[in-house]
Structure 1
Amino acid sequence: MRTVQRRFTLIGAAVALLVAGCGSGPAQVGSAAIVGDTALPLETVQQRLDVVLKKEPEARKMHDQRKLDTVARQLVTLGVQHQLIEQAAAREGVTVSEEEVAESVEQAGGADLASQNTVYDAETFRERARDQLLLVELARKYVDRMEVTFDYFFAEDNKDAVAKAKQVAADPRKMAEFVSAAPRSEQGQSLGKRGQVVRSAESPQSVQSPLFGVAPGTVVAFPPDPGSAQWIVAYVTDRKTDVRSSGESSTEQLTPQLLEQIGLRLVHALAGNPEIRVNPRYGVWDSTAISLAPSEGELSGYQATARQTDS
């Protein structure tokens, strides 16, 4: 019994150290992250980590620091996403009813059953269900109304893409040079273009792309497909959210899961682009993945506001 008690005491100590992090975190003391003016308390992350430890059948394995890091990072990611969703829904006047939340939870098998083998308990599973429904409704509101205009070119790999994206961010005039020097496809077509226009009503699935989630004047670099070695660099020059489509609504053709992903892509902009600060103990905010990454070197993409220069 003493061995078991000691083991769980050590686990608890490890969790406490993980949650406390280092002293150079966000300016507001006791925060795991800050979204705009709203803090995600360290205490909340501690409580949710405790839930995971209690639910984990082999809790002693959670003493492995790397595993605790991964779980904590996921919890902070969900906390930041929750704040973004709440802020976006409030700004957009989007709501879902308790009946809709209850129905969604019931379809998943009930909160107790559905939260098994997850980082949720029954209460936080209901919260997540509400967030997912709000994302769907936010997507429905905009998926037929968006249009982005951008210049782009393909790069050899992520290092090449990020290096060139940083040059464009420092001087947007470099974009024309990179587009002209873009590689060519096997058919001889240039893999670069200026003034490309994409409308969400014509290509609703494209709204999942980082291109639709950033403001004009933003440079982005990311792989067009997950796992792709080739990356794309783009400079967004215009973004509209009031374009009307004369055809059938795109939402009728999209699954709730896809709408949820679209809503997640748009949520930061719809929340008013609040600053996101993360306690460095948990990693860094990855705007491309809309989640935390362990470090700057593990980001899934690049985003930066271009410096304005005289033409």
Structure 2
Amino acid sequence: MRTVQRRFTKIGAAVALASVALLVAGCGTGPSHVGSAAIVGDTVLPLEQVQQRLDVVLEKEPEARKLHDQRKLDQVARQLVTLGVQHELIEQAARREGVSVSEEAVTESVEQAGGAEAASQNTVYDATTFRERAKDQLLLVELARKYVDRMEVTFDYFFVKDNAEAVEKAKQVAADPAKMAGFVADAPRSAEGQTLSKEGQRVRSADSPQAAQSPLFGVPAGTVVAFAPDPSSAQWIVAYVTDRKTDVRPSGESSTEQLTPQLLEQIGLRLVHTLAGEPEIQVNPRYGVWDGTAISLAAGEGELSGYQATARARQKS
């Protein structure tokens, strides 16, 4: 369970390094503080740090230096800012939850990956940042262990044919939650006659650990979400989370030990923003926008992988 996963960003021909100065110099108009690449709550991710990490990639990857004319440095920089935001969320969540991992465990994970120097080749990491990422992954696993068999979400939902319809209807529900009932009632059935909508659907993470990776488990009650449950399908789901619990007793034996580190890491990443106290995430527009569904940066609003919004409170009659 200690092995750090080798799912790090590769530097290939499609990801060129243009001019570092063009991307980060003169970016003083950050989200709200001069010199910031992103802000997580009260913590600033400095532009200088992104610059330094880009310099490291240029220095250690000879092939990357040959690709400067392709002007795709923004892809690398966006990944670095994503990792910086994720790191801060993980740090904040771990502090709030009292979760930690030993340096011995981190060392073991790095060694199982082949050692920091070797494993960081052809990636955006160097030996130091590879170790930092390994620690982050282990913390995500431990955060997931704490909650994976204790969560329950209740939600109303319906499926639609594509993302445009999903986002439009999700916005309507966020503005007026009373509209959800009508959308649920009017939702079409599948070709096999299966109902594609329901009110009061309840899912426990102990019964469906795979489902705990979904946006439904990563948002507080009162949130409307829209996303594609299956990326290979055009269908999207619109859901209104009406209740979320993190203290449900599992009905049987704990499922934690049966889950892979990879799955636990993904569950931990899904929970990390909520466990961090839901800090506001601001991103320098030069790098893109924060995508709460993907838990990463997107190039722009048109590239977002989903929709999330707090629903307006229902009016009392």
TM-score by length of 2: 0.92
Per-residue deviation at 1:28? 1.1
TM-superposed deviation, 1:72 = 0.1
Q: Deviation digits for residues 133-189 of structure 1, max 9, x if unmatched?
A: 000000000000000000000011000000000000110011001000111012222
Please, which of 119, 142, 162 is the counterpart of residue 114 of structure 1? 119
Is 1:258 paired with 2:257?
no
Amino acid across the alignment from 1:60? K
Which of 36, 45, 62 is the aligned partner of 2:68?
A: 62
Alignment pair present for 1:246 and 2:251? yes
> Residue 48 of structure 1: SS of its match in structure 2?
helix
* Number of equivalent positions: 300
Matches within 5 A, 1:29-108: 29-58=34-63, 59-65=65-71, 67-108=72-113
Deviation at 1:21, TM superposition (A): 5.9
Shift in CA distance, 129/219, structure 1 to aligned 2, threshold 3 Å: same
Task: Determine whether 1:290 maps to 2:295.
Answer: yes
Q: Which residue of 2 aligns with 1:126?
A: 131
Shift of 1:57: 2.3
Q: Partner of 1:271 in structure 2?
A: 276
More helix as a share of residues: 1
Partner AA of 1:64 in structure 2: Q
The alpha carbon displacement at 1:230 in A equals 0.5
- What amino acid is aligned across from residue 19 of structure 2 in structure 1? A
The secondary structure found in structure 2 opposite 1:219 is strand
SS at match of 2:37: strand
Residue 141 of structure 1: aligned partner: 146
RMSD across aligned C-alpha pairs, in angstroms?
A: 1.4
1:56 is aligned with what amino acid? E
CA-to-aligned-CA distance 1:88-137 (integer Å, 9 cap, x gap)? 00000000001000000000000000000100000000000000000000
Q: Deviations over 1:276-308 (max 9, x none)?
A: 000000000000000000000000000000111
Deviations 1:18-61 (A, max 9, x none): 01364542111110000000000000000000111112222131
4+ runs deviating over 3 angstroms: 20-24
Which residue among 229, 233, 242 is the counterpart of 1:224? 229
Local SS of the residue matching 2:285: coil
Partners of 2:130 and 2:203 lie apart in 1 by 36
Q: Which range moved further: 222-231 or 286-295?
A: 222-231
Q: Secondary structure at the match of 1:134?
A: helix
What is the distance in 2 between the residues matched to 1:21 and 1:88? Answer: 32
Question: Aligned residue for 1:198?
Answer: 203
Distance across 2 between alignment mates of 1:150 and 1:42: 40
Local SS of the residue matching 1:193: strand
TM-score, normalising length: structure 1 = 0.94
C-alpha contact 2:96 2:275 (8 A) present in aligned 1: yes
What displacement does 1:249 show? 1.2
Aligned partner of 2:9 in structure 1 is none
The residue type paired with residue 142 of structure 1 is Y
Residue identity (%): 80
Residue pair 2:28, 2:35 contacting (<8 A) in 1 also: no
Q: 1:106 to 1:225 in 2, by over 3 A?
A: same
1:301 maps to 2:310: no
Compute the displacement of 1:12 (Å).
9.3
CA–CA distance in structure 2, aligned partners of residues 217 and 224 of structure 1: 20
SS in 2 for 1:76: helix
Query: Runs of 5+ in structure 1 lacking a partner?
Result: 1-10
Contact 1:152 1:193 in 2 (8 A): yes
AA in 1 matched with 2:137: Q
Query: Matched residue of 2:239: which SS?
Result: strand
